[in-house]
Structure formats: C-alpha cells, structure tokens
Structure 1
Amino acid sequence: MGLQMDAAELAKFLDQVFPQVRGEFLVEALEEEKILMRLCVQDKHLRPGGTVSGPSMFALADCAAYAMTLARIGEQALAVTTGCSMDFMRKPAAGSDLLATCSLLKLGRTLAVCDILIHSVGMQAPVARASMTYSIPPNRSV
C-alpha cells in the first residue's frame, strides 16, 4: 500500500486536527514503515527538577504512532489508541528536545501496531520505550 501522505501533508493534517499542540510535535523524517518525530520541549513539558514529564513522553509516543498510522492509511482523524505499554528507562537530558523513532510493526484492516523508542537529543541511550496499538476506522480500502 505504501505511504498515503508525505511528511508535509502529514504535518499539515496534524495541525488541522490538533491545533492545540501546533508546533510542539514535528515530523523530522518519514519512511514507509518508520517515522521520526520531535517534541519541542517547553516549560509546560517539565516536571519539578527540570526533567521532561512522563505524560509529555507518552504524548510524543502516542503522536508518533498516530502519525505513522495516518501516513499509511491517509486522513482518518478518528483512528484512536486502543493499547499502550510504556517503559520509562532513564531521566531525559535537561533542556533538550526529545526524538521518537516509531516503527510500524503491523498494519491490518482494523489495527496498527507500533514500537517507539524515545531519546533526548544528544543522549545515546533511550529514555523511554513504548508499544502502541491503534484502532483504524472502518470503511477504508486496504
């Protein structure tokens, strides 16, 4: 099936359907089964101690899986998260953006399964890992 949206089309669509986070999540690179997304870390993403909060890392993983799914199925705003497992492995670097590498493991008629690895810019070791499952709306061609 291949990509149904390129990086620019995907970014535009995300801005339209989620204007409340415009500019926070950026598509850095897009391939047929992989996407690289950036969380532009701001003060609102930090918890006491100056580290990026768990909910912000979850949002990045979720957004990356959503974007990867949409890139393959097209403009289906009602694709929704149905499952998530997330491991927080180490403290993110202070004052650095986060990068999520999301790999599409399976794309079926009703579900998409993704694996996401999150790094702080400038850190080699991952700070978090997630597995996300998305439900795909009915009435789309495969």
Structure 2
Amino acid sequence: MDIVMNADALNRFLDSEFPQVAAEYRVEQVNETGLVARLAVGEAHLRPGGTVSGPSIFALADLAIYCAILARIGPVALAVTTNASIDFMRKPEAGRDLIADCRLLKLGRVLAVAEALIYSAGGAEPVARCSMTYSIPPKS
C-alpha cells in the first residue's frame, strides 16, 4: 500500500477538518503497515481514580485507524467507522500520554479493516486493543 499522506500532511488535515480535537492528537509516524499516533492526556481525559477514560482510549484508536486509512487513500473526510470492538486490558499508567500503534489489515475499494494497540507512553504492555472496519465512500 503506497503512502499518499505522511504524518505532517495528516496533522495538517486534522488541524483543518477537526480543529476541536486536533491539539490533543498527533500522528507521529506513518510506516509501511500503518502508523503511530499520540493522545496528549490531560484532565479532560481522566475519570475518577486518575485513570484515562475508556472513551478517550477509544477515540485515540478511532483517530489512529482513520488516519492510517487516509495515509493510503488521501484526505477523504467522509470515511466512517462501520464496526468497532475494543478490549480494555489494563489500567493506563498515570501521568503519561497514550500511544496507538495501528496496523492496516485490509484496504479495499469500499471497506478497510485495521487494528490498534494502545500503550501508555514508555510502557511495554498494551492497555487496550481495538479492531475497526471503515466504509470508504465512492470516488466522485
């Protein structure tokens, strides 16, 4: 799968199309199989007890997979999630950003399937695993 948008292009796309969340999320690297993205964890992402909330972890996985697909097909803003499954495996480490290591499994004309492992920055064990299917709109 050829890369058509690198990390800088994806971050500019997020800044332009999703300014409401772009400051929290960054694509750090696009590679041959997927990409790596970061959530800058702040107070808004925490739940009682000081751990990162499940919706924040899910949002990082969704954004990472979305960007991994766009890295291959270009800036198609209307690609949408059609199926998602997430396993929360352990508590994220306090005071650390979250990192999504995303891998594209299939990229077809109308559907894409990918998975993301979510880690606390610097951690060796994943805190969550997510698989998603995206619908890709037809080319105009």
TM bucket (normalised to shorter chain) is over 0.9
Aligned-pair identity in percent equals 61
Partners of 1:4 and 1:139 in 2: CA distance: 16
Describe the SS at the equivalent of 1:65: helix
Query: Structure 1 residue runs of 4+, over 3 Å off?
Result: none
Report how far residue 41 of structure 1 moved: 0.2
Report how far residue 32 of structure 1 moved: 2.9
Counterpart residue type for residue 53 of structure 1: S
Matched residue, 1:92: 92
Query: Could you state the TM-score of these two structures normalised by the residue count of structure 2?
Result: 0.97
Partners of 1:22 and 1:129 in 2: CA distance: 22
Q: Structure 1 unaligned segments of length 5 or more: list them.
A: none
Partners of 2:23 and 2:139 in 1: CA distance: 31
Q: Structure 2 unaligned segments of length 5 or more: list them.
A: none
RMSD: 1.0
Aligned counterparts, 1:26-105, within 5 A: 26-105=26-105
Partners of 1:34 and 1:73 in 2: CA distance: 12
Matched residue, 2:23: 23
* Post-superposition CA distance 1:28-84 (Å, at most 9, x none): 111132100000001000000000000000000000000001010001000000010
Q: Between Structure 1 and Structure 2, how many residues are aligned? A: 140
